[in-house]
Structure 1
Amino acid sequence: MLRGQIESFIREDLGYHDISCQMVPDTIAEAVIFAKQDCVVAGVEVAEAIFDYFDIEYTRKIAEGEKIQNNGVVFELKGRTVSLLRAERLALNFLGHLSGIATLTRDCVEAVHECSEAVVAATRKTTPGIREFEKLAVIAGGGDPHRFNLSDSIMIKDNHRHIMGLENAILKAKEMASFTQKIEAEVESANDALLAARMGVDIVMLDNMSPSEIISTVEKLRHEGLRNKVIVEVSGGINTENLAEYAKTGIDVISMGSLIHKAQWADLSMEMKESFMS
């Protein structure tokens, strides 16, 4: 995390007249950050950047992406009391939010891998300003971040099709693309999937199709000798309840916006060790 980012987050949290932290004696204290539930931990490097900013000594007790049980310790901390209090909520907010994403992602990855080798990926449905951290939390949970931004690859979506048609959009994308950029076409029918694959896109994304429609489309791609020439991704309406059904359709990637926007925060807390106050 860049220093400017940290200062922006701190400015938002401290405000102009922080009495609640300044009212305590500014002595040396020790504290622990621990989990209050089983979860997959993410955001430890963000937390460390916050601790570094406040000159707090820390010992990380668990690695990014590792599972932790209820009451397990994530960090042991030592620093001045005012600094510990000021770092507390900011560090816990990141750890809680990102660990929630990593935990949900891990659950989805494990569910898929029981019946398929498909990759579980995120989408660009992220929180403005902290996308990079949410995407890294997906990675910590064993998922794929997909595009970090629009420049990572060229994705032809429904509105591109509405504006210029699928074929014209693919031709224009191939004309403008760097040799390093993949082209992905989002489609809603088997016919469009076949057209995109014939035109040489790298990825065909089957959007809002039912599992039976996906199976039929994959079979048509295979019948035309196109299945091994294109990555097949599915997205839209996929959740933890129907995830396994989609994983069995023979596709390569399952992308889910819900990995981020429906993840429940993990419950973590910081507790001061009174016996170390001096």
Structure 2
Amino acid sequence: MTLLALPDIMIEPSVRAALLEDLGRAGDITSDAVIPPEAQARVALVAREHGVVAGLDFARIACKLVDPEIRFTPRLADGARLSPGDIIADIKGPARSILTAERVALNFLGHLSGIASATRGIADAIAHTKAKISCTRKTTPGLRFAEKYAVRAGGGANHRFGLDDAILIKDNHIAIAGGVEAAMTRARAAAGHLVKIEIEVDTLDQLDEALPFGPDAILLDNMKPEMLREAVLRINGRAVAEASGRINAETAPAIAESGVDLLSAGWLTHSARVLDIGLDFLD
């Protein structure tokens, strides 16, 4: 699947807010004091470890907003695999401006590349199956669009972007509604013709109760692989089968081999480790 770039108009507000936070009330007083205004520099964004790059446009826009005179030239594209020492992009222009933009650019690039790298690790682990790895709504407030983009850059799929995307009936909904039947009946009555319905189940009995109501997808929560295999048999293609709970690169293969269609993991966006990327001066 081709990775479609996010338009600059979506990225710029987040990058602008990050720069304003960093510049504070007086700007970059260190660079202004130490670096002569006429100084020029040529630098490179360099990978320090293996991973997958994501967020190049965020870094580019950080440079552009600080100073349009900065020239940002990518050598790779989002989604590319990285090895230590790989040059991701060349940057040249006024030295003060480059130093001012450096931290915001690296913060976005490292964070999004970390998400893409973690996603790729699971995507590779389950590549021998039909299953795909998906993210959730467990995202950094204000950065959901960016983090979900990074998941796609790592070879993953996106779950809901928000509460208005689809109906997802979770365990608390079921408990308060009065059971699976009550929740599904009300959801089916309220859903528009383009709105899909997914329901979370913890047991095979709950699954059997939900299936007659024709959910579009079923979230099989914290089931072991042998139970997942039985759940997939009972679903028998009538709904998308999604597994969640305790998913990582080590556990994912056995879960995917159960026959589910999706594996969803919230930690991809809320806890993925930042990828180590540095900015090295070339002259």
Output the TM-score relative to the length of structure 2: 0.90
What is the aligned partner in structure 2 of residue 224 from structure 1? none
Residues 219-268 of structure 1: CA deviation (Å, up to 9, x unaligned): 233xxxxx222111010122222111111111111101122233221111
What is the aligned partner in structure 1 of residue 175 from structure 2? 162
What is the aligned partner in structure 2 of residue 48 from structure 1? 60
Say what the alpha-carbon RMSD is for the aligned residues.
1.4
What is the aligned partner in structure 1 of residue 5 from structure 2? none
Q: Which runs of 4+ in 1 moved over 6 A?
A: none
What is the aligned partner in structure 2 of residue 142 from structure 1? 155
Distance apart, 1:272 and its partner CA = 2.2
What is the aligned partner in structure 2 of residue 62 from structure 1? 76
Amino acid at match of 1:161: I
Distance apart, 1:185 and its partner CA = 0.3
Distance apart, 1:195 and its partner CA = 2.4
Q: Is the 8 A contact 1:50 1:91 kept in 2?
A: yes
Amino acid at match of 1:130: L
- Please list every run of 5 or more consecutive structure 2 residues that lacks an aligned counterpart in the other structure: 1-9
What is the aligned partner in structure 1 of residue 190 from structure 2? 176
- 1:269 is aligned, of 261, 278, 282, to 278
Equivalent-residue separation in structure 1 for 2:197 and 2:31 (angstroms): 51
Three-state SS of the structure 1 residue aligned to 2:175 is: helix
Three-state SS of the structure 2 residue aligned to 1:88 is: helix
Q: Is the 8 A contact 1:235 1:256 kept in 2?
A: yes
Distance apart, 1:2 and its partner CA = 4.5
1:90 aligns with 2:104: yes
What is the aligned partner in structure 1 of residue 144 from structure 2? 131
Equivalent-residue separation in structure 1 for 2:11 and 2:79 (angstroms): 22
Amino acid at match of 1:234: A
- Please list every run of 5 or more consecutive structure 1 residues that lacks an aligned counterpart in the other structure: 222-226
Distance apart, 1:209 and its partner CA = 1.2
Residues 169-222 of structure 1: CA deviation (Å, up to 9, x unaligned): 21222222222221100111112212222101100111111112112222233x
Q: Is the 8 A contact 1:239 1:258 kept in 2?
A: no
Three-state SS of the structure 2 residue aligned to 1:229 is: coil
Amino acid at match of 1:29: A
Output the TM-score relative to the length of structure 1: 0.92
